[in-house]
Amino acid sequence: MAKRIATMGRISPEIIREVKRVLEKKVCTLSSEDYVTSGGVENTVTILKSVDKDLVKQMLEDLEKDDLELAETLKRKL
């Protein structure tokens, strides 16, 4: 995701606000748990389910270029 953010062109401010809102919500939820898992497919799926579908589609298309297997795994779980 960091690569996508670093290399993306113009993006709607509404999408940025939505991603920010979802990430803040996820961080607040995780910080209240005794043990925090910072990554993994399941956490990624949880975050992607809360993000604008057009943004998710673009992110998965970009991921396919770097890691087709991971992109397919995420698509199946979504």
- Residue spans of the domains in the chain: they are 12-77
pLDDT of residue 20: 81
Structure tokens at 16: 């940025």
pLDDT of residue 76: 94
Per-residue pLDDT of the chain (78 residues; tens, 9 = 90+): 656 666 667 777 888 788 888 877 777 766 555 555 567 888 888 888 888 888 888 888 888 888 899 999 999 999
Closest by CA to 14, choosing from 58, 54, 43, 60, is 54
Between vectors from CA 68 to CA 53 and to CA 21, what angle results, nearest 5°?
A: 30
As a three-state string, the secondary structure of the chain is: CHHHHHHCCCCCHHHHHHHHHHHHHHHHHHHCCCCCCCCCHHHHHHHHHCCCHHHHHHHHHHHHHHCHHHHHHHHHHC
